[in-house]
Amino acid sequence: MSRILLIEDHDRLARLMCKGLAAAGIAVDVIGRIDAAWTAVQQMSYQALVLDRGLPDGDGLVLLRKLRKAGLGVPCLVLTARDALHDRVEGLEAGADDYLPKPFAMDEMVARVRALLRRPVEFRPLDPSHGDLTLRPDAGILCSGDESVALAPAEMQVMLLFLRKHEAVVRRSALEAAAWGLSEAVTPNALDVALHRIRRKLLAIGSRQRIVNVRGLGYALREDDLAE
Mean pLDDT value of segment 15-26: 93
Judge whether 91 lies within some domain: yes
Number of domains forming the structure of the chain? 2
Judge whether 210 lies within some domain: yes
Tell me which residue range forms the domain holding 182.
Answer: 129-223
Question: What 8-state DSSP symbol labels residue 193?
Answer: H
What CATH number should be reported for the domain holding residue 64? 3.40.50.2300
Mean pLDDT value of segment 212-227: 83
| Amino acid found at 18 | C
What CATH number should be reported for the domain holding residue 133? 1.10.10.10
- Cβ–Cβ under 8 Å, residues 59 and 81: no
The residue that leads in pLDDT, 118 or 1, is 118
Asked whether the bond before 75 is cis by omega within 30 degrees of 0, the reply is no
pLDDT digits (tens, 9 = 90+) for 57-72: 999 999 999 998 887 8
151 pLDDT more than 50: yes
pLDDT digits (tens, 9 = 90+) for 96-130: 999 999 899 999 999 999 999 887 654 444 567 88
Q: Is there a single domain that holds both residue 93 and residue 135? A: no
pLDDT digits (tens, 9 = 90+) for 155-204: 988 998 898 887 889 888 888 887 877 656 678 899 999 999 999 999 99
Q: Is there a single domain that holds both residue 189 and residue 83? A: no
Q: Is there a single domain that holds both residue 10 and residue 91? A: yes
Q: Is there a single domain that holds both residue 93 and residue 34? A: yes
11 pLDDT more than 80: yes
Q: Report pLDDT for 133.
A: 93
Q: Is there a single domain that holds both residue 134 and residue 108? A: no
* Cross-strand bridge partners of residue 49: 5, 76
Phi-psi region of 131 (alpha: psi -120 to 50; beta: other; left: phi over 0): left
Q: Is there a single domain that holds both residue 21 and residue 113? A: yes
